[in-house]
Chains A and B, each alone.
Chain A
Amino acid sequence: MNTAATPVTPRIRGFRRVIVLCAGVVLFVAGCADSGTDSSAESTTTAPPASQPAGGEAEGTPAPTTPEPAELAAWQQIDVTDANGETFAIGDLVGRPVLVENFATWCSNCRKQLGDTQKAAAAAGESAVFVALSVETELDASDMADYAKQHGFTDIRFAVMSDDLLGAMYDAYGNTALNPPSTPKIAVASDGSAGELVTGFESPEKLRTALGLS
């Protein structure tokens, strides 16, 4: 068997570099497509952990006249305390669609997205609930309240994730749910069924559509 190494000619080296560069460009373009730098770009990353997709029924199943409550995922059953000191779980909000958005106070992407979320929340009024969850579990509730007030996010319910909720989110959606710059969001239907994790910027209109609001 000939074990001598094949000489790498400059042409082969050049070809390799082109391939590597092309691969980089392809990944970069893929990244841009997922980035959500425009509102049409989104990346659905993880299947919903609940037994049904958000707001939908299994194919071929007749729609019930009164929606049955869906089986809640573990993360929906964990209590959090909001900026006003009230304790609640996402699962307590069954009956109205809920948008859950994970954020951090120093994340500029989050601020930008929360601005659009605020618009959607203001337009939705009482017909939906918009919840922003800080992934920084040590964040003080009063600091979060100041943050919401300072930026005019008055129609969004802010809360800090507990360590348990952080773990349950990781179990359900992976690390991307805990990566605030990718503006991770989950739409929960009014029956409590959680949708897929969506990343990237979403306009107020798209957020309302995701929640099934007209």
Chain B
Amino acid sequence: MGEYLEAFALGNAAILGNVCMLPLYPGLFVLLADRVESGASRRSIRWMGVLVLAGVLVAMIALGGIVYLLSKTFSDVLSVLLPVMYAMVAVLGVLMILDRNPLGRLRGAQVPLLSSPSGTAFTYGLAMGPLTLPCTGPLIISAFVLGGVRGTGVLGDSLVYFLFFGLGFGWPLVLLPFLAAPAQARLTRFLTSHHRAITLLSGVLLLAVAFIGWWVDIRPN
């Protein structure tokens, strides 16, 4: 258990030392604002962060498994994936600045998974998950390699370690909606009167995150 707590603590440290989690926050703000304004239940708002983080962790484990099975490294994958992902973040930012919020439009999608608030949050986490790979990719790959060398018991141990690490860097995502839910009435008034400013700010933040991501993760490689 001590090692898992250590993983949680190291995950906390990763929040401060990396840009990996930054792209998730502006989108979560917008998703939250959208749900609060649409009068979603407190319960569904509360669990949005958990679902976003679950999406992120599932995406990372799935990608780690695929990369391991293909005998590739994240160096191979990220050199292609990250520029595409950060370009997507930049496009998302520009759309928000132009007041064309694509995350809000997901609510009207015909796909059942996307039309429910929970599904949208989980899908958002899945889509943004690869951006966190520079922080977590080697760890998840090691888990699969260790599983191959030492057996499924060690694979399980390493995956649990990874999940604690993920909880360590993702807990602010979980906490935000929990803090927002009790203040829903006040938030609704605030969001309604400042809707444009919030979308604009989120767009600018996403553009900034895309630039920082390019500067920190892509440019040096």
Residues of A at the B interface (CB closer than 8 Å) are 24, 27-28, 30-32, 34-37, 43, 45, 104-109, 111, 135-140, 143, 150-151, 163-164, 166-167, 170, 174-176, 178-182, 199-200
CB–CB A135/B13 < 8 A: no
CB–CB A27/B8 < 8 A: yes
Chain A residues with CB below 8 A from B146, complex form: 166-167, 170, 178
Query: Given the interface contacts A151-B220, A163-B149, A166-B145, does A175 sit within 8 Å of B11 by beta carbon?
Result: no
Q: List 26 A-B contacts (CB under 8 A).
A: A27-B9, A32-B16, A35-B17, A105-B73, A106-B74, A106-B134, A108-B217, A136-B74, A138-B71, A138-B72, A139-B73, A150-B220, A151-B220, A164-B149, A166-B142, A170-B150, A175-B3, A175-B157, A175-B158, A176-B7, A178-B138, A178-B139, A178-B142, A178-B158, A181-B136, A200-B13
Q: Which residue of A lies closest to B79 (CB)?
A: A106
A75 to chain B, nearest CB (A): 13
CB–CB A181/B135 < 8 A: yes
CB–CB B10/A199 < 8 A: yes
The residues in B between 67 and 115 inclusive whose CB is less than 8 angstroms from any CB of A are: 71-75, 78
CA distance A200 to B148 in the complex (A): 28
Residue from the list A31, A105, A137, A139 in contact with B13, Cβ < 8 A: A31
CA distance A166 to B14 in the complex (A): 22
CB–CB A138/B73 < 8 A: yes
Query: Given the interface contacts A24-B171, A35-B16, A106-B221, does A30 sit within 8 Å of B74 by beta carbon?
Result: no
Chain B residues with CB below 8 A from A170, complex form: 142, 146, 150, 154, 158
CB–CB A31/B73 < 8 A: no
CA distance A150 to B220 in the complex (A): 9
CA distance A37 to B9 in the complex (A): 13
B56 to chain A, nearest CB (A): 15
CA distance A130 to B149 in the complex (A): 27
B65 to chain A, nearest CB (A): 14
Q: Which residue of A lies closest to B146 (CB)?
A: A170
The answer, yes or no, to whether B175 is at the interface (CB within 8 Å) is yes
Residues of B at the A interface (CB closer than 8 Å) are 3, 6-14, 16-19, 71-75, 78, 133-139, 141-143, 145-146, 148-150, 154, 157-158, 161-162, 165, 168, 171, 175, 216-217, 220-221
CA distance A170 to B157 in the complex (A): 11
CB–CB A107/B134 < 8 A: yes
CB–CB B220/A111 < 8 A: yes
CB–CB A137/B11 < 8 A: no
Chain B residues with CB below 8 A from A111, complex form: 220
CB–CB A166/B149 < 8 A: yes
Q: Which residue of B lies closest to A14 (CB)?
A: B182
Residue from the list B7, B14, B78, B154 in contact with A106, Cβ < 8 A: B78
Chain A residues with CB below 8 A from B11, complex form: 31
CA distance A78 to B141 in the complex (A): 21
Chain A residues with CB below 8 A from B141, complex form: 135-136
- Report, nearest first, the 6 A-B pairs whose CB atoms are least far apart: A31-B12, A35-B13, A104-B138, A31-B9, A178-B142, A175-B161
Q: Which residue of B lies closest to A143 (CB)?
A: B75
CA distance A31 to B158 in the complex (A): 20
A203 to chain B, nearest CB (A): 15
B163 to chain A, nearest CB (A): 11
Query: Given the interface contacts A167-B150, A175-B7, does A181 sit within 8 Å of B217 by beta carbon?
Result: no
Q: Which residue of B lies closest to A166 (CB)?
A: B145
Q: Which residue of B lies closest to A103 (CB)?
A: B138
Chain A residues with CB below 8 A from B217, complex form: 106, 108
CB–CB B142/A34 < 8 A: no
CA distance A122 to B10 in the complex (A): 29
Chain B residues with CB below 8 A from A36, complex form: 13, 17
Given contacts A35-B12, A106-B217, A108-B18, 16 further A-B contacts (CB under 8 A): A24-B171, A30-B12, A34-B6, A35-B17, A37-B16, A108-B220, A111-B220, A135-B142, A136-B73, A166-B145, A170-B142, A170-B154, A178-B142, A178-B158, A181-B136, A182-B14
